[in-house]
Structure 1
């Protein structure tokens, strides 16, 4: 295994990996006859990736890109995303992955907030990108992935210095409780430390060298695929198999044909696969273990028994490079155990006053590297938001916003998210963002958005709406006003953020200072989905065209 020096950069580590494992595969995409690109599949060795990175790096350098520039990548889950990122990072350019499911206004915010100098996009997503630029004064240069010729030059010069390990390699945007996403600054050292941490786990999650194939169906604009699993593979001579997106109907075939030894999942994957009819390849695999989060405890054992490999639950987030694993015996199948703190990852469980709570008592989880170096290898902060960064690190501990309980053996059990965030199929949705869009509709006086349980997608978006005088709606999914609100949300929000449940109410409870009391909307212990007048709009939540 490569053990990166703390001053190492991504370019230096890639070159060393290529020298050591040149002819071994680093990146692969499974065959898929229905896919527009590489329908027969694709596989690139370490030497091929390094060669492409060097060629692309020369093109970026000739155009004038270097330290201090930020480039957006709108490349879906294509392998080219990794190559462009590595080529940019070798020059000190920062990569900003863009979400292809964003609507124009959402993408405009990221493009403007990140002050992008250039965006590389696939042809099919260029209309979305151009529509986004109508919503922001930022004017990055644009380049199609399929275009031939020199890259457009940046409008400003690069900083005249060498690349450093603490330079920002990526800015990943994550939902915040205020409704606007925050840009997490991730350094070269962070990304290498993320891969090293994953690669050095023990127990069921032990990785071999130059023999593993990690099948990852998660989006490349998320930290899991782009950084956590990819750099784990890179540092141990292994291969990342990057499919275009999770498809239940293709999972068994792709896992079999890709010869995957490790697979990544989200909670939504488990019920979707269990709901598939028996498949001749469902146990014809080489998978040793699966890594993920959010499995329904009641279906955990059922999954392992049917498909023949263990699901290892972990906890992690973009801001914190280290994931907490539950990979050692004895296993706790059927619980929400996520493992114990380890050297390099200290944990406290606290109340609202940041005071430690006894074992067995729910509290917010705080994490740090150590007392001497609390922020070591963690994210470098939120882009242009020092106040939010320092608030998150109050008292020298990072406040995760997740509620856990620690048992008598020191094992942490995940309970819920403390922040105003909805977790749907692995996507973090800020309730405040959806509320803001709903309240911009002329018929809406007030809106409160909250999560409700979903048997397949973990959680779904529920919107509770108070209408302005003169507006009425019937408790029918076909009601014109309900349809209008749904259409209004679709114009501004990614499809997964659009409410799946809608409930018209006369009042949303508030405190004397007008703070919304969402917990009072429905009686304790009841399922909001069963409330009289609740509208089920989930069937209308469909992935939208790019523009």
Structure 2
């Protein structure tokens, strides 16, 4: 065996190796720029030094209550400073952060609390109705902590103590440690559930660290960006932007409700220069009254993902003077891992042509090792001809650890050494991918995934429904909305679209409810399988819902 001198006496040690964790970004921000503003929430301003102290108090208080490695801390919070703080304070004590989708119903929340074995739940008064119902459904009630935000009126306190009281129990000089292993879990994010119950996607410290700085590079953010939280921080940990903002020592501007007035006001008053959002947010801003759009005299960068944004939406934003970057990813890839990286010469193209190019999903982001469009069975890459359809595959450090307590689903997702996205795309000659369909039949509405199987399950519970199938229908506001095709039982022919929609509203979160119901026989194969591709075409022919 040949001797390798580069392995002799050159072992890793405390002087030359540290586990990668976004907690390091927070410590550096507080050390180097202690007086820079980290959080803005109405009249509230907190510096990075103050934020670091509060995060240390949180980590210390949780540790004192027995929370540590392998424990889950769930949070049901809007985009407020406390939501930023839990991204650091929870992993400081070794625990795993589970950010809950605030749009979900009590049953879904209860499932996540139970499946993730949450020891602590930090929640806001705004969601007290849902959380109160969810807590009745779980066998083991977690320690409940209330965030009592004075900017919200209504709701009620459910917890043993409030967030500020919990911080009061903590040590501002808490000697937190980096994880013993950077592969250690940092967060748990539930998918919307394509086949029944949602799957728990587990992120590690290494991936969070790398995707945080990947955002800086892919978006050319530089240092000290001012970032407006139009993207839900619960969604893929806000695409890792809480950690990104610590790396870039930026400012988080909170936004409890995503509406044109406060968005444009914040851009003008706080000099916001970066924000993210689904195409629905961009479309909302495009269609805002002209008087709201005046007075913006600085560059603003926008990152968008979710349902592929129509070229017209991107064009509208560019005409307003906002620079749009289109990205793509999944919960399983820490959010964005593909970016429509802009090339020299694009700016010289007519704006409508620019918009068409920018509506493609793009190329691998700086920290993503592998991206390909390939045959889903053989994993043979498809020709880069812009026509041949294949599945999108990724690999690298910004792919999840796997699915919590679901080794079979994890193995299936990673078969062949690549992550199987389930999204179908073409590969262009310039290396950019463009998604054409979703093999899992997911509906992406307002940036949120909706399982057609889940909606169909509810439809089948209606006493008048004999058969049901759900597909996506184009929607000018939401990108896509669920469209239900229903065959009624004999004798139930007087059932109306309004009847079906009203029933669904009692069974699931509002955004999952079909906006369109079409009655009639369903197209099937000779073996009785519903032919969804026919229904998808029919839904497109219905035109865009507005």
Give your verdict on TM over 0.5. yes
Question: What residue is the counterpart of 2:355 in the other structure?
Answer: 333
Match of 1:117 in 2: 119
Tell me, yes or no, if the aligned pair for 2:339 and 2:365 is still in contact at 8 Å.
no
Considering only aligned residues, what root-mean-square deviation do their CA atoms show, in Å?
2.7
Which moved further from structure 2: 122-131 or 72-81?
Answer: 122-131
**Aligned residues between the structures:** 494
Structure-1 residue corresponding to 2:507: 492
User: Residue 389 of structure 2: which of 354, 357, 363 is its match?
Assistant: 363
> Which residue of 459, 479, 482 corresponds with 1:438?
459
Shift of 1:524: 6.2
* CA distance, structure 1, for counterparts of residue 364 and residue 179 of structure 2: 36
State the 1:410 CA deviation: 1.8
Aligned residue for 1:338, secondary structure, equals coil
TM-score (norm 1): 0.84
Counterpart of 2:304 in structure 1 is 292
Matched-pair contact (CA < 8 Å) for 2:214–2:365: no
Go from structure 1 to structure 2 and tell me whether the alpha carbon gap of 1:483 and 1:135 turns closer, same or farther (over 3 Å shift): farther
Structure 1 pair 161–521 and aligned structure 2 pair: CA distance change class (3 A): closer
Task: Measure the CA separation in 2 of the matches of 1:279 and 1:99.
Answer: 33
* Higher mean displacement: 260-269 or 44-53: 260-269
Write the mapping of 1:81-480 to structure 2, written as runs, cut at 5 A.
Answer: 81-146=83-148, 147-148=161-162, 149=165, 163-201=180-218, 205-209=219-223, 211-223=224-236, 225=238, 227-279=239-291, 281-293=293-305, 294-305=308-319, 307-321=320-334, 323-329=337-343, 330-331=345-346, 332-335=354-357, 336-341=359-364, 344-353=368-377, 354-359=379-384, 360-369=386-395, 375-473=396-494, 479=496
Instruction: Structure 2: give runs of 5+ residues left out of the alignment.
Output: 1-15, 149-160, 170-176, 347-353
Structure 1: gaps spanning 5 or more residues: 30-39, 154-159, 370-374, 531-535, 539-547
Over 3 Å counting, the alpha-carbon distance change for 1:109 and 1:198 in structure 2 is same
- Secondary structure of the corresponding residue to residue 200 of structure 1: helix
- Quote the Cα distance in structure 2 between the aligned partners of 1:495 and 1:525: 20
How far apart are the structure 2 equivalents of 1:86 and 1:522? 43
After TM superposition, give the deviation of residue 142 of structure 1 in Å.
2.1
Alpha-carbon separation, structure 1, partners of 2:18 and 2:467 = 51
Residue 522 of structure 2 is matched in structure 1 by 508
Verify the 8 A CA contact 1:446 1:465 in the aligned structure 2: yes
The aligned counterpart of 1:32 is none
Extract structure 1 runs of 4+ deviating beyond 4 A: 148-151, 160-163, 522-526
Q: What is the Cα deviation at residue 428 of structure 1?
A: 0.7
Contact kept in structure 1, 2:73 and 2:98, CA below 8 Å: yes
Residues 305-353 of structure 1: CA distance to partner in whole angstroms, max 9, x if unpaired?
Answer: 2x11221111122211452222322334223323333664322212343
* Alignment of 1:51 onto 2:83: no
- In the alignment, is the contact (CA less than 8 A) between 2:474 and 2:481 conserved in 1? yes
Match of 2:403, SS state, is coil
Residues 245 and 345 (structure 1 numbering): CA distance in 2 closer, same or farther, change over 3 Å? farther
